[in-house]
Structure 1
Amino acid sequence: MDENEKRRERDARREREGRREGRGDGRAAAARNQANGSGSGAAPWLVVIALVAFIGGMLLSPWFEQQVRPRLPFLPQEANLSTVFARLDRQEASISRLEGRVARLEQTGVGSAPPQIADQSGSAPPRAQPALNDAMPAEGASASADRVGRLETRVDALDRQQTQTLSRVDNLSAEVAGLTVRVEDARGETNTRVRQAERLARDARSVLLIGRARSALEAAEPLGGLEPSLRAALGPQADDDLDQLSAGMRTLSSPADLRRRFEALKPSLLAEAGAESAADRNWWQNFVAGLSDIFTIRRSGTVDDGDTNEQIVDRISAELSQGDIAGAVAEYMRLPEGVRARGTRWLRDAVNYDRTEGAIERLESRLVGEEPSAPTSSSDTSEQ
């Protein structure tokens, strides 16, 4: 019995101790939960208090009363007639200025880009914008809208006029560009024609000068003052022919003079060689005269046509009558050497005329662009 009671007492004591310990743990947990709960619940209240203070300060500030409150449509606002009339006056003044500018543009026409009319519109500065619940009189707003509409119509007309003017300016610019190209082409063509005309004028002057030189040749007159003009017109490439022409015309005999002198020379050319006495000739001349009865001596490459001196002299007379000095010289060179010696001076003058005429012919050929003819062979044969 005693042991059972002791056991019961021990169990009861342990139970009491366990309950005591459980109550202590619960209090500690409750204390911890209470501490955590009080800390987390204070933060939202602090945020709410801060927002309330900010909103209250904003509502009580003068900026809110001046800038925000008049623009709120759900808040009633009393009409401030002085402010409305002042704004209407400013709009009237702006519209009047716009009308004046548009009228000036219509009077002077659109010559350049239109001014920025929108910069001076009837809109007020940002601080004077009307509120959404502004009590502006309906009559003033309607009149201003009508005037602005008329201004917009006139400005649109000016814009269309400006567009048409710019289109015309573009077309005129294109036409001016085309005319410029045509003028440049015409200028180039004119310059080419001027150069051609200058070249033709120089050629015509050279032709006239050479014509005067040929007239002087036929009249057996010296060049004189024509020589510098010919050198200036024909250039340095014609100096050799001009030198020969100038030298030949200093001692020139005319074709008429050569023809007259040959007629006087014909009897001596046709005189018989045997008419001379043997005493007047030396042994060599007698030997040659004897051989001439047996042999006929002619140049290499020529054909003996059996022509007599009379026939050759007749042909020379015919060539001189036709003015062909070169042909006459060629025929004269077919005479026997002894007969030719009787007219040495006449032959020298005829060859000089032939050379001089050849020089002027080469100048004429050079002028017309042809190859100059070579000198006649009679000048070479005359020197033999």
Structure 2
Amino acid sequence: MDRRNFMKLAASAALASPAIGSARLAFAQSKPESLAMMTWGGLWGDGMAKNVDTPFAEKTGVKIVQDRGSSPVERITKLKISLGNQVYDLVQLHDGVVPLAEAQGVLEELDPNSQNLPFLAAVPDRFKRKGWVAMIYSALGIAYNPNLVKKPPTSFADLWNEDYRGQIVLPEITHSIGPYIIPIGAMAAGKDARDGEAGFDMLGKMAALDPIWAKDTDTIMSALVNEEAAVGLLYKSQTYTVRQQGGKVEWVFPKEGAISYLSGTGIAKNTKNKALAEQYVNMTIDPSTQGWVAEVFNYGGTHPDTLAKLPVELQERVQFSPEETARIVDLDQEFMSANRGQWTDRWNRIVSGG
């Protein structure tokens, strides 16, 4: 290379270097201080903050800011409104509203081949959808206080017993599983879980028994702990939480079958921090850390390797026998999601007496 060409090349490099330096600086500065996640409050939000958010911040240097003020359906609405300029990165939902989130187009599709999601492929298909993966599972059945209930319930149909008047606690319609009272009512009447008319007929009969309507699961558990309620709908996992809080409670696997319950995490559509959001989702299904949900809430973790890492006592709490597993009912979540708005209006009219 002659001196003239060398000088031209050197000059070009000198002109380019500020741009290169600026690009590198911009890349370095593109890492956000925090990610915004919508989730539940109370014991759940606190547990996530301690066992997932804090380790994530220590690993990545990025904090998680929780938005606990919205119901699951409201979270989906917020994501939809923000699609043009997404202000959220992550959202936690239970399986009952995931079809609504998918229909609204507010979730990024999870890529099992992403280097940020190494644990996703191992999670069984029943625990995940295109834009969402469950981190916990349990089953919904009946909890009751043996000191307050003379004849223990054995089926969902028993919830309509006159003896429970004013002493049964149930989730409001805005609760994640609020709409479940409709298929439960249909099942209690001996009908198909999709029979909405039978379900609402039973809801009217339930409303006449003056139940305690709870806005969240913490309220359901508190009602059982304080003996304000003698019986209620509760996940098997949270029966142990009630006991840990001093409540006297037993759990029943209903004759009609217990109802599956899953809860997990999705990435907000159009998030500006997709790679980091993937890393967070991956941490929620990491078998080396997923066991906290069993220790704190007695939920089963969804990664296949999580169970073996638990103490025997916790394994017994989160597992279901083969016979029980065969009788766990998976509700038609797409059907329920499509009818959620109509069901909410009808539930409000019946419960409010309008």
TM-score range, shorter chain: under 0.3
TM-score by length of structure 2 reads 0.26
**Which is greater in Rg?**
1
Indicate the structure with greater helix content.
1
Indicate the structure with greater strand content.
2
TM-score by length of structure 1 reads 0.25
Tell me which of the two structures has the higher relative contact order, counting C-alpha pairs closer than 8 angstroms and 6 or more residues apart. 2
